[in-house]
Amino acid sequence: MDEHLETSRYAIKTLEKALRIYTPSLSEKALADFLADRCDDLGFRDIHQDEAGNIIATKGSGEPKIMLCGHMDVVPGKIKVRREGDMLHGRGASDAKAPLIAMLFAAASIKENQGTVTFVGAVDEEGNATGIKTLKKNKPDIDYAIFGEPSSIQKITIAYKGRLAINLRVNVKDSAHASAPWLAKNAIEETSSVVTELKNSLEGGQEERSKGMMLTATLTEIGGGTSHNVTPIECDATLDIRIPVDMNCNNIEEKITRIINEISVKREIEVLYSVIDQTEPFEAEHNSPLVRAMTLAVLDVEKKRPMLIRKTGTGDMNEIGNELKIPVITYGPGDPHEAHTTDEKVSIDEFVKGIEILKKSLHHLKRLHDRKK
């Protein structure tokens, strides 16, 4: 039987089995054990699980050193695993077991002296990212990284926005009976005004920018008040601010501090803020060997040039790319709009092509990396 066909069938069976193992965040052990067995069958070495539960295995030798990292966990909600024509249904089919298994089989194709590939199945990506945080802490010795997320096979994600999540606390110093609201300022109403003014100041002047290059400030939580008949003295609000790649968290924090100080004086209220979460934006160099290798691989298989995209979210590549200062992209078979849906599915044809593209990208990367030296 044709070796390519045999590998494709084995890969599809492996994906089907992976989908039958239900893996909500921090319940990935059974899949990690299954992948360890598959890695052994496929000739990987140094197969182990780290302190977070990530499965890690190595294939090949020499330069370049590249990490292929997908996540094992899924959002809650079981879906019956089944094949209907070209579509394979199951929780995680698109997000992100198809990219994960595609990476496994692409890594398995690497032979000695073709480069060193570290395959990682990470835990808790849908939760608190303990898997990627552990990887980052252990500072893997790599030159490049690809993260497995559904992008559709003709799109390569080269950038993610940064994120600044802040808690605002507004205090109006006094309260009043609800029947005489004119006697005190209302902390909830004041918070609404503060958020609107802050949002408008941060988001202003971006009419010419694309969505991928826009700063956005979104009110996600608000709470205040102690009783139905007392005007609130204090109110808390959370803002989720997404920062494009030509800005950084420090500059935005400085701007927030200045705006909030101005608002406090003008409205005669106390406004404090604290940072809950901070992640810098990241973009891979368009001309890096990694982006060029993946572009050539898509051209080889699809006969058309891929689209390089900037995503509006924040991803694992922010953490590794900024920490290690290396080229990082996100790529994988699957429709991103299928992620987290009630009948999640992936095209089997796209999954198989995804393996082929990832394989070819590794070979192109070896050539381009060696040429760069």
Q: Is the pLDDT of residue 128 over 90?
A: no
Q: Is the pLDDT of residue 2 over 80?
A: no
Three-state DSSP string of 230-280: ECCCEEEEEEEEEECCCCCHHHHHHHHHHHHHHHHHHHCCEEEEEEEEEEC
Cα separation, 279 vs 242, whole angstroms: 9
Can you tell me the mean pLDDT for 110-127?
Answer: 95
Cα separation, 244 vs 94, whole angstroms: 26
Residue 6's CB is within 10 A of a number of other CB atoms, namely 10
Q: What is the mean pLDDT of the chain?
A: 95
The predicted pLDDT at position 102 comes to 98
Residues 214-242: pLDDT tens digits? Answer: 999 999 999 999 999 999 999 999 999 99
Q: Is the pLDDT of residue 1 over 50?
A: no
Question: Rg of the chain's alpha carbons, rounded to an integer?
Answer: 24
Q: Which two tokens stand for residue 54?
A: 């990530």
Cα separation, 89 vs 321, whole angstroms: 32
> Which of 168, 165, 164, 317 lies closest to 243, judged by CA?
164
Question: Domains in the chain, please, with CATH?
Answer: 3-160+281-372 (3.40.630.10), 162-279 (3.30.70.360)
Q: Is the pLDDT of residue 3 over 80?
A: no
Please give the share of the chain, as a percent, with pLDDT higher than 70. 99
Model pTM?
0.90
Phi, psi angle pair for 291, to nearest 5° = -65, -40
Residue 46's CB is within 10 A of a number of other CB atoms, namely 10
For residue 258, the one-letter residue type is R
The predicted pLDDT at position 269 comes to 96
Give how far the C-alpha of residue 359 lies from the chain's centroid of Cα atoms, to the nearest Å. 22
Residues 50-70: pLDDT tens digits? Answer: 999 999 999 999 999 999 999
